[in-house]
Amino acid sequence: MLNSSHKIKQVMEGSPAEQAGLTPGDIITKINNVELVDIFDYHYYSDDADITVELLHEDGTTSSVFVKKEEGEDLGVIFCNGLMDDYKSCSNKCAFCFIDQMPPGMRETLYFKDDDTRLSFYRAIMLL
């Protein structure tokens, strides 16, 4: 799925991504010719040494960039959406739902009924 969730928010200084010329605002469309769905795809397909990253730039142009890196080395980008995909919401309608019982006027994200198991896996991976 190609969307703004794949947009780069930050490129880490000294990273392979910076050396290859990736910049904030670029959208990663493919790695090694594979379309990415979410952050798991990103980590899986960017794990190889020497990868090809296809980009959609803010001005609408596209480019293909060869990134030289070690196997397992992080590419060095942070995405605008940490999951690189829409978050899946709970479809239950529990009568006692703690989200529905929250007082009004709080931060908007506190009202989101998160039911995306990928977030649990992702947190576990990031803690390793």
Residues at the contact surface with ligand SF4, assessed by CB under 6 A: 90, 92-94, 97-99, 113
Q: How far apart are CA 110 and CA 128, in angstroms?
A: 27
Q: Smaller CB distance to ligand SF4: residue 93 or 107? A: 93
Q: How far apart are CA 1 and CA 19, in angstroms?
A: 26
Minimum CB–partner distance for residue 119 and ligand SF4 (Å):
14
Q: Smaller CB distance to ligand SF4: residue 43 or 88? A: 88
Q: Smaller CB distance to ligand SF4: residue 49 or 99? A: 99
- Tokens for 101, please give them: 């019982």
